[in-house]
Protein backbone atom coordinates (compact mmCIF):
# COMPACT_ATOMS: atom_id res chain seq x y z
CA UNK A 1 0.00 0.00 0.00
CA UNK A 2 2.95 2.34 0.64
CA UNK A 3 4.28 2.20 -2.91
CA UNK A 4 1.08 3.44 -4.61
CA UNK A 5 0.83 6.24 -2.02
CA UNK A 6 4.43 7.29 -2.61
CA UNK A 7 3.90 7.26 -6.38
CA UNK A 8 0.83 9.47 -6.04
CA UNK A 9 2.75 11.99 -3.95
CA UNK A 10 5.63 12.10 -6.44
CA UNK A 11 3.17 12.56 -9.31
CA UNK A 12 1.36 15.41 -7.51
CA UNK A 13 4.61 17.23 -6.75
CA UNK A 14 5.70 16.84 -10.39
CA UNK A 15 2.45 18.31 -11.66
CA UNK A 16 2.73 21.20 -9.21
CA UNK A 17 6.28 21.99 -10.33
CA UNK A 18 5.25 21.76 -13.96
CA UNK A 19 2.33 24.12 -13.31
CA UNK A 20 4.57 26.65 -11.59
CA UNK A 21 6.99 26.42 -14.47
CA UNK A 22 4.21 27.10 -16.96
CA UNK A 23 2.96 30.02 -14.92
CA UNK A 24 6.48 31.46 -14.68
CA UNK A 25 6.94 31.08 -18.42
CA UNK A 26 3.61 32.80 -19.04
CA UNK A 27 4.58 35.65 -16.73
CA UNK A 28 7.92 36.06 -18.47
CA UNK A 29 6.21 35.99 -21.85
CA UNK A 30 3.76 38.68 -20.74
CA UNK A 31 6.60 40.79 -19.35
CA UNK A 32 8.52 40.43 -22.59
CA UNK A 33 5.47 41.51 -24.58
CA UNK A 34 5.08 44.62 -22.41
CA UNK A 35 8.77 45.38 -22.85
CA UNK A 36 8.46 44.99 -26.62
CA UNK A 37 5.36 47.21 -26.61
CA UNK A 38 7.17 49.99 -24.72
CA UNK A 39 9.98 49.87 -27.26
CA UNK A 40 7.74 50.04 -30.30
CA UNK A 41 8.45 53.02 -32.58
CA UNK A 42 6.24 56.05 -31.88
CA UNK A 43 5.90 58.91 -34.37
CA UNK A 44 4.53 62.31 -33.36
CA UNK A 45 4.09 65.28 -35.70
CA UNK A 46 3.49 68.67 -34.06
CA UNK A 47 2.62 71.59 -36.35
CA UNK A 48 1.59 75.21 -35.84
CA UNK A 49 2.69 78.18 -33.75
CA UNK A 50 6.18 79.48 -34.52
CA UNK A 51 6.15 81.19 -31.11
CA UNK A 52 5.83 77.78 -29.42
CA UNK A 53 8.12 75.96 -31.85
CA UNK A 54 11.45 76.64 -30.04
CA UNK A 55 10.10 75.23 -26.77
CA UNK A 56 8.65 72.05 -28.26
CA UNK A 57 11.82 71.58 -30.32
CA UNK A 58 14.06 71.82 -27.27
CA UNK A 59 11.81 69.69 -25.07
CA UNK A 60 11.49 66.91 -27.66
CA UNK A 61 15.29 66.61 -27.90
CA UNK A 62 15.43 66.08 -24.14
CA UNK A 63 12.47 63.69 -24.27
CA UNK A 64 13.92 61.58 -27.10
CA UNK A 65 17.19 61.17 -25.21
CA UNK A 66 15.14 59.35 -22.56
CA UNK A 67 12.72 57.68 -25.01
CA UNK A 68 14.77 56.68 -28.08
CA UNK A 69 11.83 54.80 -29.62
CA UNK A 70 10.09 58.15 -30.31
CA UNK A 71 10.42 60.20 -33.49
CA UNK A 72 9.03 63.72 -33.00
CA UNK A 73 8.81 66.24 -35.83
CA UNK A 74 8.12 69.89 -34.93
CA UNK A 75 7.07 72.29 -37.69
CA UNK A 76 5.82 75.89 -37.88
CA UNK A 77 3.18 77.29 -40.20
CA UNK A 78 1.17 79.33 -37.71
CA UNK A 79 -1.51 78.56 -35.13
CA UNK A 80 -4.29 78.46 -37.72
CA UNK A 81 -2.45 75.78 -39.67
CA UNK A 82 -1.80 73.75 -36.54
CA UNK A 83 -5.42 73.88 -35.41
CA UNK A 84 -6.90 73.03 -38.82
CA UNK A 85 -4.45 70.18 -39.43
CA UNK A 86 -4.95 68.53 -36.04
CA UNK A 87 -8.73 68.91 -36.43
CA UNK A 88 -8.47 67.16 -39.80
CA UNK A 89 -6.40 64.36 -38.28
CA UNK A 90 -3.42 65.22 -40.50
CA UNK A 91 -1.02 65.72 -37.55
CA UNK A 92 -0.73 64.43 -34.00
CA UNK A 93 -0.53 67.78 -32.22
CA UNK A 94 -1.60 71.28 -33.23
CA UNK A 95 0.50 73.97 -31.54
CA UNK A 96 -1.34 77.24 -30.99
CA UNK A 97 -0.97 80.63 -29.31
CA UNK A 98 -4.76 81.05 -29.24
CA UNK A 99 -7.75 79.07 -28.01
CA UNK A 100 -9.24 76.81 -30.68
CA UNK A 101 -12.56 78.59 -30.07
CA UNK A 102 -11.02 81.77 -31.50
CA UNK A 103 -10.32 80.23 -34.90
CA UNK A 104 -13.17 80.16 -37.41
CA UNK A 105 -13.57 76.93 -39.32
CA UNK A 106 -12.20 74.82 -36.46
CA UNK A 107 -14.53 72.58 -34.44
CA UNK A 108 -13.08 73.19 -30.99
CA UNK A 109 -15.43 70.62 -29.44
CA UNK A 110 -13.41 67.84 -31.08
CA UNK A 111 -10.09 69.09 -29.74
CA UNK A 112 -8.51 68.67 -26.31
CA UNK A 113 -6.45 71.56 -24.94
CA UNK A 114 -3.10 70.92 -23.25
CA UNK A 115 -1.59 74.20 -21.95
CA UNK A 116 2.16 73.86 -21.57
CA UNK A 117 3.42 77.42 -20.99
CA UNK A 118 2.65 81.12 -21.25
CA UNK A 119 4.27 83.40 -23.80
CA UNK A 120 4.62 87.15 -23.58
CA UNK A 121 4.66 89.15 -26.80
CA UNK A 122 5.45 92.74 -27.61
CA UNK A 123 6.42 95.32 -30.20
CA UNK A 124 10.04 95.45 -31.37
CA UNK A 125 11.70 98.19 -33.43
CA UNK A 126 14.93 98.80 -35.29
CA UNK A 127 17.51 99.98 -32.76
CA UNK A 128 18.07 103.29 -34.57
CA UNK A 129 14.50 104.69 -34.46
CA UNK A 130 15.14 106.54 -31.20
CA UNK A 131 11.97 105.46 -29.38
CA UNK A 132 11.78 103.10 -26.39
CA UNK A 133 8.31 103.74 -24.95
CA UNK A 134 4.89 104.44 -26.49
CA UNK A 135 1.37 104.76 -25.16
CA UNK A 136 -1.24 102.17 -26.05
CA UNK A 137 -2.93 104.68 -28.38
CA UNK A 138 0.37 105.54 -30.06
CA UNK A 139 0.96 101.83 -30.65
CA UNK A 140 -2.48 101.50 -32.23
CA UNK A 141 -1.88 104.56 -34.41
CA UNK A 142 1.44 103.13 -35.63
CA UNK A 143 0.00 99.78 -36.65
CA UNK A 144 -3.17 101.20 -38.19
CA UNK A 145 -1.15 103.61 -40.33
CA UNK A 146 -2.18 106.90 -38.67
CA UNK A 147 1.33 107.63 -37.45
CA UNK A 148 3.80 107.38 -40.31
CA UNK A 149 7.09 108.85 -39.05
CA UNK A 150 9.08 108.23 -35.87
CA UNK A 151 9.64 111.97 -35.38
CA UNK A 152 5.95 112.24 -34.44
CA UNK A 153 6.83 110.18 -31.37
CA UNK A 154 10.06 111.98 -30.54
CA UNK A 155 12.29 109.70 -32.56
CA UNK A 156 14.26 110.09 -35.76
CA UNK A 157 12.89 111.67 -38.91
CA UNK A 158 12.36 108.25 -40.39
CA UNK A 159 9.40 106.62 -42.09
CA UNK A 160 7.76 103.83 -40.11
CA UNK A 161 7.90 100.43 -41.83
CA UNK A 162 5.37 97.98 -40.34
CA UNK A 163 6.23 94.29 -40.63
CA UNK A 164 3.15 92.18 -40.01
CA UNK A 165 2.30 88.50 -39.58
CA UNK A 166 -0.10 86.48 -41.78
CA UNK A 167 -3.77 86.31 -40.90
CA UNK A 168 -3.43 82.74 -39.61
CA UNK A 169 -0.74 83.69 -37.12
CA UNK A 170 -1.58 83.25 -33.45
CA UNK A 171 1.06 85.84 -32.59
CA UNK A 172 -0.80 88.35 -34.78
CA UNK A 173 -4.17 87.44 -33.26
CA UNK A 174 -2.79 87.88 -29.74
CA UNK A 175 -1.04 91.15 -30.58
CA UNK A 176 -4.07 92.70 -32.29
CA UNK A 177 -6.44 91.59 -29.52
CA UNK A 178 -4.39 92.69 -26.51
CA UNK A 179 -1.91 95.19 -27.98
CA UNK A 180 -4.17 97.01 -30.44
CA UNK A 181 -7.49 96.62 -28.60
CA UNK A 182 -8.86 94.56 -31.50
CA UNK A 183 -7.84 96.95 -34.29
CA UNK A 184 -6.64 95.41 -37.55
CA UNK A 185 -3.10 96.33 -38.57
CA UNK A 186 -2.48 98.20 -41.82
CA UNK A 187 -1.72 96.17 -44.96
CA UNK A 188 2.04 95.72 -45.15
CA UNK A 189 4.79 93.20 -45.68
CA UNK A 190 3.91 89.93 -43.94
CA UNK A 191 6.31 87.30 -42.65
CA UNK A 192 5.38 83.98 -41.10
CA UNK A 193 8.65 83.11 -39.38
CA UNK A 194 9.45 84.86 -36.10
CA UNK A 195 13.15 84.50 -36.81
CA UNK A 196 12.74 86.19 -40.20
CA UNK A 197 10.70 89.01 -38.64
CA UNK A 198 13.45 89.67 -36.11
CA UNK A 199 16.09 89.75 -38.84
CA UNK A 200 14.08 92.14 -41.05
CA UNK A 201 13.38 94.55 -38.18
CA UNK A 202 17.06 94.50 -37.19
CA UNK A 203 18.18 95.29 -40.74
CA UNK A 204 15.44 97.67 -41.95
CA UNK A 205 15.60 101.38 -40.96
CA UNK A 206 12.37 102.50 -39.29
CA UNK A 207 10.97 98.98 -38.99
CA UNK A 208 8.53 97.83 -36.31
CA UNK A 209 6.87 94.46 -35.72
CA UNK A 210 6.09 92.21 -32.74
CA UNK A 211 7.65 89.05 -31.36
CA UNK A 212 7.25 86.53 -28.60
CA UNK A 213 9.65 87.15 -25.71
CA UNK A 214 11.42 83.92 -26.69
CA UNK A 215 12.55 85.58 -29.93
CA UNK A 216 13.58 88.94 -28.49
CA UNK A 217 17.30 89.68 -28.31
CA UNK A 218 19.63 92.66 -28.48
CA UNK A 219 19.44 92.88 -32.27
CA UNK A 220 16.22 94.93 -31.86
CA UNK A 221 14.69 97.21 -29.21
CA UNK A 222 11.63 95.95 -27.31
CA UNK A 223 9.20 98.84 -26.72
CA UNK A 224 7.58 99.53 -23.37
CA UNK A 225 3.87 100.43 -23.50
CA UNK A 226 2.52 103.04 -21.08
CA UNK A 227 5.84 102.77 -19.23
CA UNK A 228 5.33 99.05 -18.58
CA UNK A 229 8.24 96.91 -19.72
CA UNK A 230 7.69 93.62 -21.56
CA UNK A 231 9.00 91.30 -18.83
CA UNK A 232 7.98 87.92 -17.48
CA UNK A 233 7.23 89.42 -14.06
CA UNK A 234 4.79 91.89 -15.63
CA UNK A 235 3.09 89.13 -17.60
CA UNK A 236 2.67 86.99 -14.47
CA UNK A 237 0.37 89.55 -12.79
CA UNK A 238 -1.13 90.87 -16.07
CA UNK A 239 0.55 94.29 -15.81
CA UNK A 240 1.77 93.48 -19.33
CA UNK A 241 -1.37 92.37 -21.12
CA UNK A 242 0.03 91.11 -24.44
CA UNK A 243 0.40 87.42 -23.65
CA UNK A 244 -1.21 84.10 -24.37
CA UNK A 245 -1.18 80.51 -23.30
CA UNK A 246 0.79 78.07 -25.39
CA UNK A 247 -1.57 75.26 -26.31
CA UNK A 248 -0.81 71.79 -27.67
CA UNK A 249 -4.11 70.47 -29.03
CA UNK A 250 -4.95 66.86 -29.80
CA UNK A 251 -7.97 65.52 -31.64
CA UNK A 252 -9.81 63.89 -28.78
CA UNK A 253 -7.95 62.46 -25.81
CA UNK A 254 -4.39 61.49 -26.77
CA UNK A 255 -3.28 57.87 -26.71
CA UNK A 256 -0.89 56.86 -23.94
CA UNK A 257 2.25 57.34 -26.04
CA UNK A 258 1.32 60.91 -27.00
CA UNK A 259 0.15 61.64 -23.45
CA UNK A 260 3.56 60.54 -22.17
CA UNK A 261 5.15 63.34 -24.22
CA UNK A 262 2.51 65.92 -23.23
CA UNK A 263 2.93 65.02 -19.54
CA UNK A 264 6.67 65.42 -19.96
CA UNK A 265 6.11 69.03 -21.10
CA UNK A 266 4.61 69.78 -17.66
CA UNK A 267 7.30 68.10 -15.57
CA UNK A 268 9.15 70.42 -13.20
CA UNK A 269 12.49 69.81 -14.91
CA UNK A 270 11.00 71.14 -18.16
CA UNK A 271 8.89 73.93 -16.67
CA UNK A 272 11.71 75.27 -14.49
CA UNK A 273 14.37 74.37 -17.04
CA UNK A 274 13.98 74.82 -20.77
CA UNK A 275 10.68 76.75 -20.46
CA UNK A 276 12.37 79.53 -18.48
CA UNK A 277 15.66 79.31 -20.38
CA UNK A 278 13.88 80.06 -23.66
CA UNK A 279 11.92 83.03 -22.35
CA UNK A 280 8.53 81.41 -21.69
CA UNK A 281 6.68 81.45 -18.39
CA UNK A 282 5.91 78.25 -16.53
CA UNK A 283 2.18 77.76 -16.00
CA UNK A 284 2.81 77.59 -12.24
CA UNK A 285 4.40 81.08 -12.20
CA UNK A 286 1.22 82.82 -13.36
CA UNK A 287 -0.61 84.80 -10.68
CA UNK A 288 -3.76 85.12 -12.81
CA UNK A 289 -5.82 83.00 -15.18
CA UNK A 290 -7.47 84.24 -18.38
CA UNK A 291 -10.25 82.41 -20.19
CA UNK A 292 -11.16 82.50 -23.87
CA UNK A 293 -13.44 85.52 -23.34
CA UNK A 294 -10.56 87.46 -21.72
CA UNK A 295 -11.92 87.34 -18.17
CA UNK A 296 -9.10 87.57 -15.62
CA UNK A 297 -9.21 85.99 -12.20
CA UNK A 298 -6.61 85.68 -9.47
CA UNK A 299 -5.11 82.23 -8.96
Per-residue pLDDT tens over the stretch 87-102: 999 999 999 989 999 9
Assign 102 to helix, strand or coil.
helix
Helices H, strands E: what count in the chain? 10, 14
Considering the entire predicted model, what is its pTM? 0.77
288 pLDDT exceeds 80? yes
Cα separations in angstroms, 39 against 36, 239, 260: 5, 47, 13
108: DSSP letter: G
Q: CA 287: distance to chain centroid?
A: 19
Average pLDDT of the segment spanning 214-223: 94
Q: What is the pLDDT of residue 83?
A: 96
Q: What is the pLDDT of residue 190?
A: 95
73 pLDDT exceeds 90? yes
Q: What is the pLDDT of residue 38?
A: 63
31 pLDDT exceeds 60? no
The torsion angle over the Cα atoms of residues 48, 292, 269 and 82, rounded to 10 degrees, is: -10
Question: Residue 222's pLDDT band (boundaries 50, 70, 90)?
Answer: very high
Asked whether 191 and 165 are in contact (CB, 8 A), the reply is yes
Percent of the chain surpassing pLDDT 90: 77
Q: CA 129: distance to chain centroid?
A: 32
Q: What does the pLDDT look like over 195-209, one tens digit per residue?
A: 999 999 999 999 999
Q: What is the pLDDT of residue 29?
A: 46
178: DSSP letter: I
Q: What is the pLDDT of residue 36?
A: 43
Provide the mean pLDDT of the chain: 89
Question: Residue 169's pLDDT band (boundaries 50, 70, 90)?
Answer: confident
Question: Residue 279's pLDDT band (boundaries 50, 70, 90)?
Answer: confident
Q: What is the pLDDT of residue 214?
A: 82
Containing 75, the helix (H) or strand (E) segment is strand 70-77
Cα separations in angstroms, 127 against 77, 84, 109, 111, 222: 28, 37, 44, 42, 9
Q: Which residues pair with 133 in a beta bridge?
A: 224
Amino acid sequence: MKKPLLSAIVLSVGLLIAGCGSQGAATNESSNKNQESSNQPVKIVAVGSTALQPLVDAAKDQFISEHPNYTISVQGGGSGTGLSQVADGAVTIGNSDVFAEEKSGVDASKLVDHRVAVVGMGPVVNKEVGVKNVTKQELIDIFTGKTKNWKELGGKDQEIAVINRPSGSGTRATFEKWGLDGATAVQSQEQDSSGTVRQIVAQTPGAISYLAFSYMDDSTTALSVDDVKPTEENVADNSWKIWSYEHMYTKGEPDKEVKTFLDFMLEEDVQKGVVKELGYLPITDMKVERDVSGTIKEK
